[in-house]
Amino acid sequence: MSKKVKLTIEHDFDFSLIAIISTEPIYRLGYLINQSLHYNLKENRSLQVYHAKRQLVQEFPLFSDDTNLLTSTVHLIQNKGIQGYFIEEEKQVDFWLKWENTEPNLQKVLPEIKKIKNISLIYEVKPGLLKSKNRFLFSLDETI
């Protein structure tokens, strides 16, 4: 007689996240963040996410700084793609800046980013509170 066991996996949303509202294109914003924070954000292949309700693969421009891959990675993700929004409940957000494997000093980072011209608003977001938070759990090695 076989017994069914249900395994529940709780994801750890242990990363820092800020929302950016800006009129700049992603390549220009990436350059300005590099200048301001001394990062090395570079264009990466588009982030591909499967949208179950629409049954399609959405693509979002992605810039990453993984020069120190063992300790930290920074991602700049465009929220609006051709097929919709990366985080649909936050349509007003233009970009997401995500730090993995590190805790940035947001008291220093936020004022530096606010100094960048054409950034209207920037604020910290607690990833666990977002309905679409699982979209932030990706690896650059993954395919669709």
pLDDT value of position 63: 95
Q: Which amino acid is at 123?
A: Y
pLDDT value of position 70: 58
Six-digit token string for 130:
């977002």
Pick from 101, 90, 117, 118: nearest CA to 18: 90
Residue 18 and residue 125 in contact, taking contact as beta carbons nearer than 8 Å: yes
pLDDT value of position 144: 38
Residue 98 and residue 67 in contact, taking contact as beta carbons nearer than 8 Å: no
- Number of Cβ within 10 Å of residue 25's Cβ equals 12
Residues of the chain short of pLDDT 70, as ranges, are 1, 6-13, 68-71, 139-144
pLDDT value of position 61: 95
Rounded Cα–Cα distance for residues 16 and 127 (Å): 8
**Contacts with 19 (C-beta within 8 Å, 6 or more apart), sequence order:** 90, 93, 95, 96, 121, 122, 123, 124, 125
16-136 adopts what CATH topology? TATA-Binding Protein (3.30.310)
pLDDT value of position 10: 54
**Contacts with 63 (C-beta within 8 Å, 6 or more apart), sequence order:** 26, 27, 30, 41, 42, 43, 44, 75, 76
Instruction: Tell me if residue 59 falls in helix, strand or coil.
Output: strand
pLDDT value of position 18: 95
pLDDT value of position 13: 62
